């Protein structure tokens, strides 16, 4: 999934060459020793404690202690189904688990709460095919031009084509097909590869204890284990139009059927083969405890067997557990206020770790995500000992300011890394002026990106030309950015009929003036600096840019409801992720609160998205990605900006920092203390 972030502070470190869906792993894009697919990639080999002055000293990790991690914006919720913040996702990396995990280094999908998963083909039978033992009814997308889905007869298993026909071999638990069958090709309408997904759950995954309902009054609020009903319910919420999950809905409506096979097994059917289906189900489906969120669950304290869809949606959207999360991870959120989110190790009634995998249960006993919106205030908090990790260090501090003082070097060290982050200014294509591509292109031609990146990022940021991570092999490096040419920008505008008709200094057309509100989140110096530079760059074109800042929650709501003209933000895309959520026409409809907040609707883009989704061959899919990249850049729905390294400062007592291109760029569970003077540290987890 894509995740939303404010633009990080400007300036990159002076060095050499950073929101999980791949059917085929991108091992070369960030694994051990990877340097990217070409010499343009900034990805470096992962090195343990690369920037720590004592790296490689072999100090033994200790368990315990607490780490305080800075966050510059406080999300509304921990429920990732209804919240699209990158920081929510960061919380859940430590406090929750999905069915699968994308390995931080190999990028392969590995089991998490699912102990096993099986991917099979869906063989759709011709309407006049003879009945086959083991066939099922499946809901699939129509290919005959009709409206809505249709129900077909089908088999599922591994499908292979031979001289005698199509052989279907069952592989998953309790399959409807008991043994392999071969049917003539004339009986087959089509084969959808990799469209049936069966997950077998572990039997030892325990939900956190509710901190809202008293377990003494409601015994089912403690000690519940994850089961198939939880997974089925978690899928079902996306079928409820009242649930505030439009930014995620696209991923799960493509699975029209989910069946509970038994208490620990669920099976999903996709309506067509999809290169991103496994990643969507495995790592983006937010598992919800049925006994907390499902009103029809008898164990829910608010049980209502006859609850309407609207009442169920309200119960999900406004549930108090959306902050005091009941999850499945090694840490449990125990406090949420306007200053921080606190998590502590999840333990059983005997005080022992209750997480199902002690080998991956983390070293710290506590994690605090400390919210400070202002970058300078955050740096001051670091130096005052209120933070252990700050990931938005400004250039003036990084190179020659506060990081060179003894106050800093006695306690902290600094470093940098790249992720798939890219900054952008999004244009609202429903706006009377910005719907004109001439306006969007003119703005791009008017801005001197090369000079800006040299001045603000010491020349080490990478200008991006499309919606694909710069570090991904799917990125099209052959797309040349629009050149800096203010004269051409003015010519484009005048040719399109935009010029100053009433001598007020602002170009206009058909009664619409080129006066654009540039919206950005409060406390973000990078957005402010860029906005001011953009103001100056387009002023001679007769375009007036008005800077408007507001707090994060209000800012996001304005974007979701398309009450903006231009918005300055960043995406943290996965190395390869389904582009439908951001660019599909369906999700650009005005009334939808989706990630396609620009409202782009383009038939050619939709066709390319469909080809990307259904192409399971990695190299062929990447070729389509490059065409998609070029098309999006040609349409200019965003002013695509840059990929910059994140510059951070961390406490010298913390070790285990190793950088991965997957957001957030590090694995917090791998961090630890080596100094036994840190309160609460000890040599073993269980003591």
Which secondary structure element, helix H or strand E, spans residue 567, and what is its range? Answer: strand 566-571
More confidently predicted of 572 and 152: 152
Residue 687's pLDDT is: 53
Query: What is the average pLDDT across 437-459?
Result: 93
Where helices occur in 16-122 by DSSP H, the ranges are 86-95
Instruction: Provide the b/e sequence for 645-667 (b: ≥16 CB within 10 Å).
Output: bbbbbbbebbbbbbbbbbbbbbb
Q: What is the pLDDT of residue 408?
A: 96
Looking up tokens 């089961």 gives: 227
What is the widest separation between alpha-carbon atoms in the chain?
Answer: 81
pLDDT of residue 644: 86
Q: Give the predicted TM-score (pTM) of the model.
A: 0.81
pLDDT for the residue numbered 552: 83
Q: Pairing state of beta strands 114-125 and 646-651?
A: unpaired
Structure-model confidence comparison of residues 227 and 45, the more confident one:
227
Are 670 and 427 spatial neighbours (Cβ–Cβ below 8 Å)? no
User: pLDDT tens across 52-61, in order?
Assistant: 999 878 889 9
pLDDT higher at 146 or 453: 453
Q: Domains of the chain: which residue ranges?
A: 114-201+227-286, 422-577+637-643
Q: Is the pLDDT of residue 40 over 80?
A: no
Residue 113 preceded by cis peptide, ω within 30? no
pLDDT at site 7: 41
Sign of CA dihedral 551, 552, 553, 555: positive
Work out whether strand 100-102 and strand 109-111 pair parallel, antiparallel, or are unpaired: antiparallel
Query: Which band of pLDDT confidence, cut at 50, 70 and 90, is reported for residue 17?
Result: very low
Q: For residue 403, is pLDDT > 60?
A: yes
| pLDDT tens for each residue of 257-303 | 999 999 999 999 987 889 999 999 999 999 999 999 999 999 999 99
The predicted model gives 415-430 an average pLDDT of 93
Look at residue 34 and tell me whether its pLDDT is greater than 60.
no
User: Does residue 119 contact residue 196 with C-beta atoms inside 8 Å?
Assistant: yes
Place of tokens 């900054």: 423
- CATH homologous superfamily for the domain 422-577+637-643: Dipeptide-binding Protein; Domain 3 (3.10.105.10)
Which residues, in sequence order, are CB contacts of 113 under 8 Å at separation 6+? Answer: 97, 98, 99, 201, 202, 205, 226, 287, 328, 356
Q: What is the tens place of the pLDDT at every residue in 131-144?
A: 999 999 988 766 65
453: tokens are: 């990146």
- Measured torsion, CA atoms of residues 43, 47, 49, 51, in degrees rounded to the nearest 10: -50
Distances (CA, A) of 64 to 97, 385, 460, 678: 21, 18, 38, 9
DSSP structural state of residue 384: T
Least confident of 9-18, 200-209, 259-268, 445-454: 9-18
Q: What is the pLDDT of residue 594?
A: 86
Q: Could you give phi then psi for residue 159, rounded to 5 degrees?
A: -105, 130
Backbone angles phi, psi at 34, to 5 degrees: -70, 145
C-alpha–C-alpha distance, residues 308 and 311, integer Å: 5
Residue 632 has pLDDT above 60, yes or no: yes
Q: What is residue 19's predicted lDDT score, i.e. its pLDDT? A: 30
> What is 348-375 written as a DSSP string?
-TTSSB--S-GGGS-S-SEEEEEE--SH
The Cα 234–Cα 316 span in angstroms is 11
Q: How far apart are CA 304 and CA 308, in angstroms?
A: 9
Q: Residue 589 and residue 601: Cα distance in Å, rounded?
A: 8
Q: How far is CA 467 from CA 22, 572, 617, 658, 668, in A?
A: 16, 10, 21, 26, 27
Q: State phi, psi for 606 to the nearest 5 degrees.
A: -60, -40
Distance of alpha carbon 198 from alpha carbon 259, whole angstroms: 9
Q: In the prediction, which pLDDT does 44 show?
A: 65
Q: Which phi and psi angles does 292 have, rounded to 5°?
A: -105, -40
Q: Report how far residue 366's alpha carbon sits from residue 601's, in angstroms, rounded to the nearest whole number.
A: 46
Q: Residue 120 — φ and ψ, nearest 5°?
A: -130, 170
**Position 369 pLDDT exceeds 70:** yes
Confidence tier at 593 by pLDDT (50, 70, 90): confident
The pLDDT, as a whole number, for residue 146 is: 63
pLDDT (average), residues 80-96: 94
Q: pLDDT tens-digit profile of 324-356? A: 999 999 999 999 999 999 999 999 988 999 999
Tokens of 416: 């940098």
> How does pLDDT run across 538-567, given as a tens digit for each residue?
999 999 999 999 988 899 899 989 999 999
Q: Tell me what pLDDT residue 442 has.
A: 98
Q: Determine what percent of the chain is predicted with pLDDT higher than 70.
A: 92
Spatial contact of 567 and 519, defined as CB atoms under 8 Å apart: yes
630: nearest Cα among 425, 492, 467 = 467
What average pLDDT does the segment 305-329 reach? 97
- Asked if the model's pLDDT at residue 529 lies above 50, the reply is yes
Q: Which residues contact 216 (CB under 8 A, 6 or more apart)?
A: none
pLDDT of 38 above 60: no
Using CA atoms, how far apart are residues 39 and 299, in angstroms rounded to an integer? 56
CA distances from 631 to 44, 377, 604, 607, 686 (A): 29, 41, 8, 11, 55
pLDDT at 12 over 50: no
pLDDT at 520: 94
Q: Environment class of residue 379 by beta-carbon count within 10 Å: exposed (0-12), middle (13-18) or buried (19+)?
A: buried
Question: pLDDT tens for residues 164-214?
Answer: 999 999 999 999 999 999 999 999 999 999 999 999 999 999 999 999 999
CA dist., res. 640 & res. 340, Å (int)? 32
Q: Is 171 in contact with 118 (CB distance < 8 Å)? A: yes
Which ranges in 148-262 belong to alpha helices (H)? 228-236, 246-252
What's the pLDDT band for 147 if we cut at 50, 70, 90? Answer: low
Whether the pLDDT of residue 157 is over 70: the answer is yes
Contact 198, 277 (CB under 8 A): no
Cα Rg of the chain (Å, integer): 26
Query: pLDDT higher for 458 or 640?
Result: 640
pLDDT (mean) for 3-18: 32
Mean pLDDT, the chain, rounded, equals: 90
pLDDT for residue 647 is more than 80: yes
Range name among 9-13, 454-458, 467-471, 525-529 with the lowest pLDDT average? 9-13
Helices 449-457, 525-539: inter-axial angle, 10-degree rounding:
150
Strand 512-513 relative to strand 462-463: parallel, antiparallel, unpaired?
A: unpaired
Residues 226-249 pLDDT 10s: 999 999 999 999 999 999 998 899
Under DSSP, the state recorded for 133 is T
**Mean pLDDT value across residues 478-507:** 97
Q: Which residues in 169-182 are b (16+ Cβ under 10 Å) and which e?
A: bbebeebbbeeebe
Q: What is the mean pLDDT of residues 387-408?
A: 90
For residues 247 and 571, give the distance between their C-alpha atoms in angstroms, rounded to a whole number.
13
Q: CA-CA distance, 481 to 477, in Å (whole number)? A: 10
Distance CA 418, CA 41 (A): 10
């Amino acid at each position: 999934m894509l995740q939303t972030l404010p633009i990080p502070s400007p300036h990159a470190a002076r060095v050499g060459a950073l929101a999980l869906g791949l059917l085929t792993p991108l091992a070369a894009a960030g694994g051990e020793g990877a340097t990217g697919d070409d010499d343009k990639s900034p990805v470096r080999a992962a090195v343990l404690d690369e920037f720590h002055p004592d790296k490689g000293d072999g100090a033994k990790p200790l368990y315990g202690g607490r780490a305080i991690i800075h966050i510059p914006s406080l999300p509304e919720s921990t429920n990732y189904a209804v919240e699209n913040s990158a920081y929510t996702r960061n919380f859940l990396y430590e406090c929750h688990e999905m069915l699968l995990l994308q390995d931080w280094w190999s990028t392969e999908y590995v089991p998490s709460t699912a102990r096993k998963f099986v991917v099979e083909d869906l063989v759709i039978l011709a309407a006049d095919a003879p009945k086959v033992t083991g066939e099922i009814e499946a809901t699939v997308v129509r290919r005959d031009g009709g409206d809505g889905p249709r129900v077909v007869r089908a088999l599922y298993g591994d499908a292979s084509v031979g001289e005698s026909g199509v052989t279907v071999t069952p592989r998953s638990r309790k399959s409807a097909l008991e043994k392999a069958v071969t049917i003539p090709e004339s009986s087959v309408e089509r084969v959808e590869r990799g469209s049936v997904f069966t997950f077998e759950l572990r039997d030892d995954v325990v939900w956190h204890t509710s901190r809202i309902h008293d377990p003494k009054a409601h015994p089912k609020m403690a000690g519940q284990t994850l089961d198939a009903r939880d997974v089925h319910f978690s899928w079902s919420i996306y079928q409820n139009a009242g649930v505030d999950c439009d930014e995620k809905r696209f991923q799960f409506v493509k699975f029209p059927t989910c069946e509970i096979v038994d208490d620990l097994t669920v099976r999903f059917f996709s309506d067509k083969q999809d290169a991103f289906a496994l990643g969507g189900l495995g790592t983006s489906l937010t598992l919800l405890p049925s006994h907390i969120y499902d009103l029809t669950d008898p164990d829910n304290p608010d049980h209502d067997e006859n609850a309407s869809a609207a009442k169920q949606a309200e119960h999900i959207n406004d549930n108090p557990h959306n902050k005091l999360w009941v999850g499945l991870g090694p840490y449990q959120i125990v406090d949420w206020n306007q200053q921080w989110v606190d998590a502590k190790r999840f333990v059983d009634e005997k005080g022992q770790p209750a997480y199902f995998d002690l080998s991956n249960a983390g070293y710290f006993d506590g994690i605090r995500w400390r919210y400070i919106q202002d970058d300078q205030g955050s740096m001051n908090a670091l130096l005052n000992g209120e933070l252990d990790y700050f990931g938005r260090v400004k250039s003036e501090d990084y190179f020659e300011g506060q990081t060179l003082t003894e106050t800093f070097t006695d306690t902290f060290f600094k470093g940098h890394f790249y992720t798939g982050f890219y900054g952008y200014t999004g244009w609202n294509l429903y706006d009377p002026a910005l719907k004109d591509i001439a306006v969007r292109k003119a703005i791009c031609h008017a801005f001197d990106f090369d000079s800006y990146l040299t001045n603000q990022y010491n020349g080490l940021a990478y200008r991006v030309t499309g919606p694909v991570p710069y570090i991904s092999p799917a990125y099209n490096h052959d797309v040349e950015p629009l050149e800096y040419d203010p004269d051409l920008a003015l010519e484009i505008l005048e040719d399109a009929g935009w010029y100053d008709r009433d001598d007020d200094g602002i170009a206009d057309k058909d009664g619409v003036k080129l006066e654009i509100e540039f919206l950005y989140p409060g406390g973000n110096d990078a957005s402010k600096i860029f906005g001011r530079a953009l103001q100056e760059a387009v002023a001679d074109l007769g375009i007036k840019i008005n800077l408007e800042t507001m707090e994060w929650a209000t800012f996001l709501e304005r974007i979701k409801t398309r009450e903006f003209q231009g918005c300055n933000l960043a995406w943290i895309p996965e190395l390869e992720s389904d582009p439908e959520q951001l660019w599909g026409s369906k999700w650009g409809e005005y009334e939808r609160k989706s990630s396609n907040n620009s409202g782009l609707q383009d038939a050619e883009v939709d066709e390319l998205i469909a080809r990307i989704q259904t192409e399971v061959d990695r190299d062929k899919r990447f070729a389509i990605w490059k065409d998609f990249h070029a098309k999006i850049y040609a349409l200019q729905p965003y002013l695509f900006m840059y990929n910059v390294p994140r510059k951070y400062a961390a406490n010298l007592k913390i070790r285990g920092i190793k950088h991965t291109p997957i957001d957030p760029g590090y694995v917090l569970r791998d961090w630890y203390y080596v100094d036994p003077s840190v309160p609460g540290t000890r040599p073993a987890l269980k003591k």
